[in-house]
């Protein structure tokens, strides 16, 4: 094999690094040395003549080109999996529709690529996707107006009234501007966070989660601004107007203006953002709904970060 030949192993190692955000964590998940991950990524970057990752003090983050390449790499690995399981021909004959609801964060930062990959394997299954906030989704589930909800399980007060399955957990970190005085810290405490103006995201119960962080330590956050726009949060933080605690799932190390944003570990316990499936409890998924459910579970488990497994409530 030529040293210049691109391999599926390099694709797999790249995806592992992209999902974990750390070469060391990717090496652990793939049971190889960290140098194997680093060499695979370096080879791909040389072949593509572009940088796929930004190397950061606490890990790596995808560049814009890296994000595009990740999408293609996952499709390649999905196609190989289909071919090896001899199921590709039958999949093109499966047809029908599935009613799915999801909220702001899931729709914007979690679901699109997964649906694209599902449609690649099952082109004749239509996903009737509805944008719903949590209260409306819970009502639709109770009235069985949708087949599945893909939601932030960490925001559901009583999960046991639904069938549920946790797909992924995303840690929350403190976002600060490149020139912020905390930017050079290896980690920060919630007490430190409370000393600075706080930019509060108000969609998907993010404001409730922020209040919970402070309440557990008997701290009051200094709310400077409130917004429903995540891009507005990025911009305000990047320009130094405040800080915010948000999940790695929505993290990007730059704002739309191209200014740098750092994500710092929090030394105090902070609940992770948990994403999962919900369905009406009296009616377990069957047929196409069960097929879509299995696809999402398998796709997420294949790219799960080490130590990031969530609750499993198949009921």
| Sign of the alpha-carbon torsion through 72, 78, 79, 81 | positive
For residue 1, is it within any domain? no
For position 90, what pLDDT does the model report?
62
Assigned token pair, 67: 């994000």
Q: How confident is the model at residue 140 (pLDDT cuts 50, 70, 90)?
A: very high
pLDDT at 86 over 70: no
Q: How confident is the model at residue 314 (pLDDT cuts 50, 70, 90)?
A: very low
pLDDT at 201 over 90: yes
Give the DSSP per-residue string, 106-148.
Answer: HHHHTHHHHHHHHHHH-TTEEEEEEE--HHHHHHHHHTT-SSE
For position 307, what pLDDT does the model report?
34
Q: 156 and 285 share a domain?
A: yes
Q: 150 and 182 share a domain?
A: no
How many domains, the chain?
3
Q: 230 and 197 share a domain?
A: yes
Share of the chain above pLDDT 70, in %: 90
Q: Are 54 and 252 in contact (CB under 8 A)?
A: no
**Which residue range(s) make up the domain with 182?**
172-264
For position 216, what pLDDT does the model report?
66
Q: Which residue has the higher pLDDT, 301 or 131?
A: 131
CATH code for the domain in which residue 253 is found: 3.40.190.10
Q: 205 and 229 share a domain?
A: yes
């Amino acid at each position: 094999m030529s040293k210049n030949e691109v391999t599926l192993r390099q694709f797999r190692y790249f995806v592992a690094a992209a999902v974990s955000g750390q070469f060391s964590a990717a090496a652990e998940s793939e049971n190889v040395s960290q140098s194997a991950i680093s060499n695979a990524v370096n080879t791909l970057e040389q072949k593509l003549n572009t940088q796929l990752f930004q190397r950061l003090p606490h890990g790596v983050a995808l560049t814009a080109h890296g994000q595009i390449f990740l999408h293609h790499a996952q499709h390649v690995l999905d196609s190989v999996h289909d071919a090896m399981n001899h199921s590709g021909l039958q999949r093109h004959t499966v047809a029908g529709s599935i009613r799915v609801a999801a909220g702001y964060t899931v729709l914007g930062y979690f679901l699109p690529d997964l649906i694209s990959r599902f449609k690649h394997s099952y082109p004749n299954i239509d996903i009737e996707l509805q944008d719903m906030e949590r209260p409306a989704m819970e009502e639709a589930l109770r009235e069985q107006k949708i087949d599945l909800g893909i939601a932030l399980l960490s925001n559901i007060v009583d999960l046991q009234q639904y069938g549920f399955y946790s797909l992924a957990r995303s840690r929350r970190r403190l976002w600060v501007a490149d020139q912020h005085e905390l930017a050079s810290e290896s980690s920060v405490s919630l007490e430190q966070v409370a000393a600075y103006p706080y930019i509060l995201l108000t969609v998907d119960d993010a404001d409730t989660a922020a209040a919970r962080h402070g309440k557990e330590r008997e701290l009051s956050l200094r709310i400077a601004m409130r917004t429903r726009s995540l891009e507005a949060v990025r911009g305000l933080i990047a320009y130094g107007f405040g800080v915010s605690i948000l999940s790695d799932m929505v993290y990007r190390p730059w704002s739309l203006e191209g200014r740098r944003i750092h994500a710092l570990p929090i030394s105090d316990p902070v609940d992770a953002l948990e994403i999962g499936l919900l369905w009406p409890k009296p009616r377990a998924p069957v047929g196409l709904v069960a097929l879509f459910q299995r696809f999402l579970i398998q796709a997420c488990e294949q790219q799960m970060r080490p130590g990031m497994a969530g609750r499993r409530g198949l009921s």
